[in-house]
Amino acid sequence: MVDGRRERGRRTRDSILQAAVQLVPVEGIDGVTIGRLASELGMSKSGLFAHFGSKEELQLATIDTAREIFVETVVSPARLAERGLPRLEALMENWLGYMQREVFKGGCFFDAVRSEYNSRPPGPVRDAVWADFASWSEILVNRVKAAQAAGHLDPEADPEQVAYELDALGGAANVRFQLDRDAAWFDRARASIHARLEALRV
C-alpha cells in the first residue's frame, strides 16, 4: 500500500513537471507558480504544494526535467554516430530538429530561461540556468575537439570559436522561427553549419 502511494505520488509529480516545462518557453520560468500549475492541471494548490515546498523548488525541478528531455532528445542519440565529425554533425542535426519540432511548446526551453535570467543576480535558479548553458557549450567544444582528434577537422582551428559559431547559427534560427514561424530558417542554419564544417575539413 505504501509503495502504491509512493508510485502515484511519483507519477503525479512527473505530470506536474511535464506541464511545467511546456509552460516555460511561453510564460517564463517566473510564470511557473504553484497556483498557475494547479489551474493548468485541475489540482488544488495544497495538493500541488505537497510535491513542491516552494516556488524555487518547483522551478529547479522544472529545469532538471527540461535538462533530462534535452539530453534524451539531442545529446544521447548523437552518441550513436561515429566518433569525430559524424557525431558533431548528428548533434547539430538533433539540436536543430529539437527546436524545429518544438519539443517544448513555444521554442527552446533553455533559450527562454537564459533570456529571462541573464541579467538577474546570482541565486539558485540563475545558477542552474548558467550551469546548463555552460554544459551545452562544453559539449559543443568537446565535439569539435573530438572531430579534430579524429583527423576530420583542421587541428589549428580554435574549438571554442567554432563551437560559438555553431551555437550562434542554431540559436538565430530558433529566434527567427519563433517570430515568423518559417521553418526555412532551420534550413538556412543547416546550410551555414554544413558550410562552416566543410571549410574546416582536412
What backbone phi and psi angles, to 5 degrees, belong to 153? -125, 155
Distance between CA atoms of 152 and 161, rounded to whole angstroms?
Answer: 17
Are the CB atoms for 21 and 69 separated by under 8 Å?
yes
CB 185 within 8 A of CB 173: yes
Contact 113/131 with Cβ under 8 angstroms?
no
Report pTM: 0.93
Q: How does pLDDT run across 38-93, given as a tens digit for each residue?
A: 888 888 888 887 888 888 999 999 999 999 999 999 999 999 999 999 999 999 99
Phi-psi region of 121 (alpha: psi -120 to 50; beta: other; left: phi over 0): beta
What torsion do the CA atoms of 46, 47, 53, 56 make, to the nearest 10 degrees?
-100
Q: Report the range of poorest mean pLDDT among 11-20, 46-55, 138-147.
A: 46-55
Residues 13/42/116/122 CA torsion (nearest 10 deg): -50
Q: According to the CATH classification, is domain 2-200 in 3.30.830.10?
A: no
Please provide the size of the chain in residues: 202
**Would you list the domain boundaries of the chain?**
2-200
Gyration radius of the chain over CA positions: 19
Mean pLDDT computed over 90-103: 97
